[in-house]
A = this chain, B = another copy of it.
Amino acid sequence: MTNQAVSAPTTSERILDAAEDLFAEKGYSATSLGDVADRVGIRSPSLYNHFKNKEALYQAVLERLLADFTAPQRELDSGPVTYERVFEWLETIVRRHHANPNLARLLQHAALSGGPHTNELIDRFFRPMFQPGARIDGQEVTVFGDAGLQPWAVMAFNNLVMSYVTMAPMYRDLLGQDPFSEAALENQLNLIKSLLRAVFAYRGE
C-alpha cells in the first residue's frame, strides 16, 4: 500500500533525471547508457524496460524540458508587448535557466554539433521567439537600427541569458563564487536588465 504524500519518483523519472544531467553535461554521443544506469543504480539493459532506445530517451528528456520552458514564451505572446512585460519575461526565463540549466546546455550542445537534433530544437524553442509583428510597443528600438537587425538582437539577448549557464564552470573558477547561488542570480539579473534598459534608453550617438 504505497501511500506517500508527494509520491516518490518512479524509476522512469529517475532515469530521465540522470539522463538529463548527463546529456546536458557531455552531449548526446559522449553520454553512455552505462553512465545513466550507474546513476540510477540499475544495469544498462534495464533501461530498455522504460525507453525504446537511447534516441527515445533523449527525446523524452527533451520533451520534459521544453514543456517547462516554452510556457513563459506563450505567456508573453498572449498580450501586448510592453517594456514591463518584456522585463518580466526576461526575468522569468533567467530564473528558469538558473533553476534548471540543462535545457540551455542541451541547446548549446546541439548548436555546436549541428546534428539532427538541432532542427527540432530550433523549431520548438527558438522559432516561437520570431513571430512577425512582435514589435515592442509598436516602436523600434534605436540601438538595433533598422528592423532587419532585430532578430539578431533577440538572439543576442537570449544568448546572454543562456551563455551564463553554459559558461557556469568558467564563472565559478574565475569569480570564486557559485554561479547558481541566489546572490549570483541577482547579480546577473541586474546586469541583464540594466543592459536592456540601456538599450531602450539609448537614442543614437
A-side residues, CB < 8 A to B, are 24-27, 29-30, 105, 107-109, 111-114, 118-119, 122, 126-127, 130, 143-145, 149, 151-153, 155-156, 159-160, 162-164, 166-171, 173-175, 187-188, 190-192, 194-195, 197-199, 201-202, 205
Q: Which of B26, B111, B169, B201 contacts A169 (CB 8 A)?
A: B111
Q: Which of B107, B112, B170 contacts A105 (CB 8 A)?
A: B112
| B155-A171 in contact (CB<8A) | yes
Identical copies in the complex: 2
| B159-A167 in contact (CB<8A) | yes
A–B Cβ pairs within 8 angstroms, 26 of them: A26-B113, A27-B112, A30-B113, A108-B166, A108-B167, A109-B112, A111-B166, A118-B169, A118-B170, A119-B173, A122-B173, A122-B174, A126-B174, A130-B174, A143-B191, A149-B187, A149-B191, A151-B174, A151-B175, A152-B187, A152-B188, A156-B191, A159-B167, A160-B160, A198-B199, A198-B201
CB distance from A33 to the nearest CB of B (A): 15
The 4 closest A-B pairs by CB, nearest first: A159-B163, A198-B202, A114-B169, A198-B198
| A199-B188 in contact (CB<8A) | no
CB distance from A141 to the nearest CB of B (A): 10
- Most chain B CB within a 10 A radius of its CB, from A25, A170, A171, A188: A170
